[in-house]
């Protein structure tokens, strides 16, 4: 993303400040969304936040791409290991959440 495209009152804003603004807004979104989660689903909440925090796989894939294009070998293998770890979390986290949520049933009338 080009820094020069983000303007405030005619002056360029550094991407860091722009990202920080998004970060702060997201904390507020998280705050309100999580307070509305019913306590009965706090365990699935932890499992699913765990699965989505594995979106850090984005960084792992960039590391693999960088490593194999002639970057450091450390990048390739650290990236590969991180991709595998994140994949365990993504598949394990979402599937176990699905399994838990499928068990919550209403009273059969």
Partner 1 sequence: MPQLSADLAAVLYTVSAVLFILALRGLSSPETSRRGNTFGMIGIAIAIVTTLLVAGMNGMGFILSAAGLALGGVIGAIIAKKIPMTDMPQLVAAFHSLVGLAAVLVAIAAFFSPSDFGILSEGRIKAGSLLELGLGAVIGAITFSGSVIAFAKLNGNMSGAPIMLPARHLINIALGLGIAVLIAMLMKSGGTEHWIIWALLGAAFLIGFLLIIPIGGADMPVVVSMLNSYSGWAAAALGFTLGNLALIIVGALVGSSGAILSYIMCKAMNRSFISVILGGFGADAGASDSGDKEQRPVKRGSAEDAAFIMKNASKVIIVPGYGLAVAQAQHAVREMADALKEAGVDVVYAIHPVAGRMPGHMNVLLAEANVPYDEVFELEDINSEFANTDVAFVIGANDVTNPAAKTDPQSPIAGMPILDVDKASTVLFVKRSLSPGYAGIDNDLFYRDNTMMLLSDAKKMVEEIIKSL
Which of positions 50-109 make contact with partner 1 (CB under 8 A)? 50-69, 71-72, 74-76, 78-108
Q: Pick between residue 10 and residue 31 the one whose CB is nearest to partner 1.
A: 31
Q: Is 31 a binder of partner 1 (CB under 8 A)?
A: yes
**DSSP, res 13:** -
Q: Please name which of 53, 38, 50, 58 lies closest in space to residue 96, comparing C-alpha atoms.
A: 50
Establish if 35 lies at the interface with partner 1 (CB under 8 A).
yes
> In angstroms, what is the minimal distance from the CB of 90 to partner 1?
6
12 binds partner 1 (CB under 8 A): no
Supply the Cα-derived Rg of the chain in whole angstroms: 20
**Shortest spacing between CB 11 and partner 1, in angstroms:** 19
CB of 44 to partner 1, least distance (A): 6
Q: Report which of 20, 87, 92, 93 is spatially closest to residue 60, judged by C-alpha positions.
A: 87
DSSP at 70: T
Are the beta carbons of 19 and 25 closer than 8 angstroms?
Answer: no
Measured from the CB atom, is 12 or 72 closer to partner 1? 72
């Amino acid at each position: 993303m080009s820094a020069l495209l983000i303007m405030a009152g005619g002056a360029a804003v550094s991407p860091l400040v722009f990202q920080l603004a998004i970060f702060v807004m997201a904390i507020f979104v998280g705050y309100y969304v999580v307070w509305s989660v019913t306590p009965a689903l706090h365990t699935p909440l932890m499992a699913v936040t765990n699965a989505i925090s594995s979106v850090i796989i984005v960084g792992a894939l960039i590391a693999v791409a960088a490593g194999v294009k002639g970057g450091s070998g450390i990048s390739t293998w650290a990236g590969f290991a991180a991709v595998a770890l994140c994949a365990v979390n993504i598949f394990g986290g979402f599937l176990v959440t699905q399994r838990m949520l499928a068990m919550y049933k209403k009273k059969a009338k």
